[in-house]
Amino acid sequence: MTSSLTIENLYTAYDKADVLEGISLEVPTGQVTCLLGSNGAGKTTTIRSILGLTPPRDGRILFEGQEITGRATHKIISLGIACIPEGRKVFPKLTTEENLRLGAYQESREATIRSRMDEVYEIFPRLAERRQQLAGTMSGGEQAMVSIGRGLMSAPKLLLIDEPSLGLSPLYVKENFNIIKRINERGITVFLVEQNVRQTLAISHRGYVLSKGRVVASGTPTELQQNEEVHAAYFG
C-alpha cells in the first residue's frame, strides 16, 4: 500500500524546547489515519510541522514520495493538502458561499468552483439552505460544516483535520465523524488529530498515540483498544 504522507524521526521545537521528539508515522493513501493524544501531547504541532507553519529542526516529511520539509506553506498546500483547523475558524462576516469560495482561491475557473460547491452542498444539504447566511450567525455544528466544506473546495488529496469534535454537542460530534467517514469513502485520504478516542477509532483504519511529543503506541483500532496503556489512559 502506498503512503500519502510519511513522517520520519521528526523533531519540532518552540524556543529551543522540543515539542516533538523523533516521531515517525505513515498515512496510507485512501485511508483514515488518526493521531490521538491529550492536550499538550504535540498533536497540533504535528499539523503545523506538516504545513510548514512551524518548521521542524530535524527529520523529514514526505507527501506522495516528495520531500516537503521546510517548504513554504502555500507551496505545500498547492500539492493537494488541505487543513481544517481546530475551533472551526470561519469568517463570521462572510456568507456560507463566500466562506466556501475562499477554499478554492487557487482555482480560477468558475465552472470548476461551481462544481466543487455543488459537491459540498450535496454532502451538507443544510449549507445549501443557508448559502446566503452570515457564518457568524450559524450554530457551532453548522460552522463546523462550513469549515469542512471550505477545506474540500481545494479538491485535496490529503485532508488534515484538527480536533473536529472540539466544543460541539454530542449530536454534532456524531454527525461530524459520519461526514469525515463519507469524505474518506469519496477517495480522500484523511489524517485526523483528536482527543475523542472512541468516535475516532470507530472511523479510522489505523492510529497512533502521542504522549509528551513521542509516539507511544500504534496499530489498528482493535490493537489500540487492546493495548493496556492506551486502554488505561483512554478507556479507564
Closest to 27 in 3D by CA, of 54, 53, 42, 46 = 46
Report pLDDT for 161: 94
C-alpha cell at 11: 523533531
The model's confidence at residue 88, banded by pLDDT at 50, 70 and 90, is low
Closest to 158 in 3D by CA, of 20, 87, 56, 65 = 65
Please tell me the least confidently modeled range out of 84-88, 138-142, 164-168, 220-224. Answer: 84-88
Report pLDDT for 159: 96
Q: Where are the domains of the chain?
A: 1-80+162-236, 87-155
Report pLDDT for 40: 84
In CATH, which of 3.40.50.1370, 3.40.50.300, 3.10.270.10, 3.20.20.140 is domain 1-80+162-236? 3.40.50.300
| pLDDT greater than 80 at residue 21 | yes
Report pLDDT for 236: 55
| pLDDT greater than 80 at residue 229 | no
* Cα 221 to Cα 205: distance, rounded to the nearest angstrom: 7
| pLDDT greater than 80 at residue 124 | yes
Q: Residue 188 contacts by C-beta under 8 Å, 6 or more apart in sequence?
A: 152, 156, 157, 158, 159
The model's confidence at residue 172, banded by pLDDT at 50, 70 and 90, is confident
* Cα 172 to Cα 178: distance, rounded to the nearest angstrom: 10
Report pLDDT for 24: 97
- For the chain, give percent helix, strand, coil, nearest 5: 40, 30, 35
- Residue that has been written with the C-alpha cell 449530536 in this structure: 171
Report pLDDT for 176: 86
Report pLDDT for 235: 61
State the DSSP string of 38-56: -TTSSHHHHHHHHTTSS--
Question: pLDDT of 134-150, one tens digit each?
Answer: 999 998 888 988 999 99
User: What are the phi and psi torsion angles at 81 (to 5°)?
Assistant: -110, 130
Report pLDDT for 149: 94
Strand order in the sheet with 81-84: 81-84, 158-162, 189-194, 32-36, 206-211, 214-219
Element (H, E) at 27: strand 17-28
Closest to 70 in 3D by CA, of 123, 140, 11 = 11
- Residue that has been written with the C-alpha cell 462550513 in this structure: 146
DSSP one-letter code for 95: B
With a threshold of 0.85, does the pTM exceed it?
A: yes
Report pLDDT for 1: 67
Report pLDDT for 99: 96
Residue type, 70: G
| Residue 12 falls in which region: left (phi positive, over 0), alpha (psi -120 to 50) or beta | beta
* Cα 127 to Cα 121: distance, rounded to the nearest angstrom: 6
